[in-house]
Amino acid sequence: MIFRLGLTGSIGMGKSTTAGLFAEAGCLVWDADAAVHRLYAPGGAAVTPMQEAFPDVIEDGAISRERLRDVIAADPSALPRIERIVHPLVRQDRDAFAHAHDDKILVFDIPLLFETGAEAEMDAVACVTIPPELQRERVLARGTMSPADLDRILARQMPNAEKCARSDYVIETDTLEHARAQVHFVLEDIERRRHA
């Protein structure tokens, strides 16, 4: 029987690294961001409906994330309309992944798990966390966004403390070895729950 583990956490918390640790431990991992990239690529399922709603975001037969950001910045009402197009397609991709695999612990790497209500489809949720100052340091060290950009993203996400409180497991990603040990604990606990 499939056990669906939702993996979530705010930007810069170490979620992608933790997803990699679950994969390293033998779990199959579905990545929401990778699904969106597939949907936005040429021939992706989101291209035609987005072209109809927002013709300016299409570039070379694909959805341009840069143009999408410009549209959202210019018109705050655009984001909910985009989400109404993209979220159901992401859910279809996730369901197809789940139906293709059985008798496994499947990990669903979903940054906006609680914000989109996807926790209702999970058997348990793990949230990654680090102190906010380390989060800010990690994100800004990437050199891909300004402090103001980070603040805008954080304002759209559920507060980390609330995500942790709503999760079955909390994984601290202060060091790789500490995170790896917690991943193994989570998997052992899930196995106990599955066979109880």
Is residue 12 in some structural domain?
yes
- Residue 7 has a pLDDT of 98
pLDDT in tens, 60-99: 999 999 999 889 889 989 989 999 999 999 999 999 999 9
CA pair distance 104, 42, nearest whole angstrom: 32
Q: How many other C-beta atoms are found inside a 10 Å radius of the C-beta of residue 47?
A: 18
- Residue 108 has a pLDDT of 97
- Residue 47 has a pLDDT of 96
Residue 159 has pLDDT above 80, yes or no: yes
Confidence grade of residue 31 (pLDDT, cut at 50, 70, 90): very high
Is residue 185 in some structural domain?
yes
Is residue 160 in some structural domain?
yes
pLDDT in tens, 4-19: 999 999 999 999 999 9
Bridge partner residues of 106 (DSSP): 4, 28
Q: List the structure tokens of 59.
A: 């570039």
| Closest among 23, 49, 48 to 34, alpha carbons compared | 23
Q: What are phi and psi of 75, to 5 degrees?
A: -140, 95
Could you tell me the CATH number of the domain that includes residue 72?
3.40.50.300
**Residues 6 or more apart in contact with residue 99 via CB below 8 angstroms:** none
Is residue 161 in some structural domain?
yes
Whether this model's pTM surpasses 0.95: no
Range of the domain at 126: 3-191
- Residue 195 has a pLDDT of 80
Is residue 108 in some structural domain?
yes
Confidence grade of residue 143 (pLDDT, cut at 50, 70, 90): confident
pLDDT in tens, 160-170: 999 999 999 99
Q: What is the 3-state secondary structure (H, E, C) of 48-79?
A: HHHHHHCHHHEECCEECHHHHHHHHHHCCCHH
Is residue 196 in some structural domain?
no
Number of domains in the chain: 1
